[in-house]
């Protein structure tokens, strides 16, 4: 992987990580379009650069992470811990199977289309939110949102989309569901990244470290902009645009697979 390829993938990660369009799916397709071979390092890289995106959330919402510590109100962190438990458990159990799915362009295409159809109707299905602040999110709410997030272990589903839909199903407002999805990304992605790095650290070279550093810086900067855009866009327009985008992207992938341009 060259520095330019690492930058391109990091840009894709930064843009898509917090949008409901699947960052993993987009990075898989980007790698295939660029002709980057699927190796242990490329899989590690796509997970490792999530640290930059995580930092973007912490920077933008630093008060949300600091205030509970200053005020001794640990409920915020307790709910995140409860919400991340399902992903930690299932991710550990099915780690090898998830890695296998990362090879499948067809899985990404189908997941994009299916998720897009769901997003076309989500705004009309969940029209009466009752939970408007994170203080009102209960521990059962948090756990169920965490279960929804596990669907995103299938490439192309989108962790953001799954957890936001889970939040809205639990009566959170669109804005709060999106923000809780951002907060939940921090322990979820930190755990996934740490686990992958721990498993593959022996194969990391000096060149790999340089690519990781560049990728994380780029992902951090781009994610900052993407998060700000998404919250504003979501409040004004809802999810329909992202639904259409996913469907169009999925259909294009199916065409590329059918014509032999991309492998299944």
Instruction: Provide the residue-wise pLDDT of the chain in tens; the chain has 264 residues.
Output: 889 999 999 999 999 988 998 888 888 889 888 888 878 788 888 888 888 998 999 999 988 888 888 777 788 899 999 999 999 898 888 777 777 777 788 888 999 999 999 999 988 888 888 998 888 999 999 999 999 999 988 888 988 999 999 999 999 998 899 999 999 999 988 888 887 777 766 777 888 889 989 999 999 999 999 998 888 888 788 899 999 999 999 999 999 889 888 777
**Is there a domain that residue 116 lies in?**
yes
pLDDT at res. 81: 94
pLDDT score for 255:
92
pLDDT at 165: 93
17 lies in some domain: yes
Residue 263 lies in a domain: no
How confident is the model at residue 35, as a pLDDT? 87
Return the pLDDT at 146: 95
**249 is in which domain, residue-wise?**
3-258
Q: Identify the pLDDT of residue 173.
A: 92
The whole-angstrom separation of Cα 144 and Cα 163 is: 9
CA dihedral 96, 17, 173, 230 (to 10 degrees): -170
129: in domain? yes
Q: 248 lies in a domain?
A: yes
DSSP per-residue string spanning the chain: --HHHHHHHHHHHHHHTTTTT-HHHHHHHHHHHHT----HHHHHHHHHTHHHHHHHHHHHTHHHHHHHHHHT-THHHHHHHHHHHHHHHHHHHTHHHHHHHTT-HHHHHHHHHHHHHHHHHHHHHS----B-SGGG--HHHHHHHHHHHGGGGSTTS-HHHHHHHHHHHTTB-HHHHHHHHHHHHHHHHHHHHHHHHHHHGGG--HHHHHHHHHHHHHHHHHHHHHHHHHHHHHHHHTTHHHHHHHHHHHHHHHHHHHTTSS--
Return the pLDDT at 194.
82
Provide the pLDDT for residue 184: 93
Question: Does 97 map to a domain?
Answer: yes
Residue 264 inside a domain? The answer is: no
Number of domains in the chain: 1
In this structure, are residues 29 and 69 in contact, taking their beta carbons and an 8 Å threshold?
A: no
């Amino acid at each position: 992987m060259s520095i330019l390829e690492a930058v391109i993938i990091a840009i894709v990660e930064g843009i898509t990580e917090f949008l409901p369009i699947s960052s993993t799916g987009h990075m898989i397709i980007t790698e295939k379009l660029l002709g980057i071979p699927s190796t242990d390092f490329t899989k590690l890289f796509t997970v490792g650069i999530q640290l930059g995106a995580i930092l973007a959330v912490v920077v933008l919402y630093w008060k949300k992470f600091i205030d509970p510590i200053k005020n001794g109100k640990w409920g915020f962190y307790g709910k995140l811990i409860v919400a991340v438990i399902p992903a930690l458990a299932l991710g550990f159990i099915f780690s090898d199977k998830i890695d296998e799915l990362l090879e499948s362009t067809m899985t990404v295409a189908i997941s994009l289309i299916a998720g897009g159809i769901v997003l076309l109707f989500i705004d009309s299905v969940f029209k009466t939110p009752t939970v408007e602040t994170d203080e009102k999110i209960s521990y059962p709410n948090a756990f169920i949102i965490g279960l929804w997030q596990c669907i995103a272990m299938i490439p192309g589903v989108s962790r953001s989309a799954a957890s936001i839909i889970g939040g809205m199903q639990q009566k959170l407002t669109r804005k709060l569901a999106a923000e809780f999805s951002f907060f939940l990304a921090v322990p979820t992605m930190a755990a996934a990244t740490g686990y992958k790095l721990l498993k593959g650290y022996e194969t990391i070279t000096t060149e790999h470290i340089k690519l990781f550093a560049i990728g994380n810086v780029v992902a951090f900067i781009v994610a900052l902009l993407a998060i700000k855009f998404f919250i504003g866009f979501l409040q004004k327009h809802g999810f329909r645009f992202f639904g259409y985008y996913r469907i169009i992207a999925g259909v294009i992938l199916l065409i590329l697979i059918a014509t032999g341009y991309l492998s299944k």
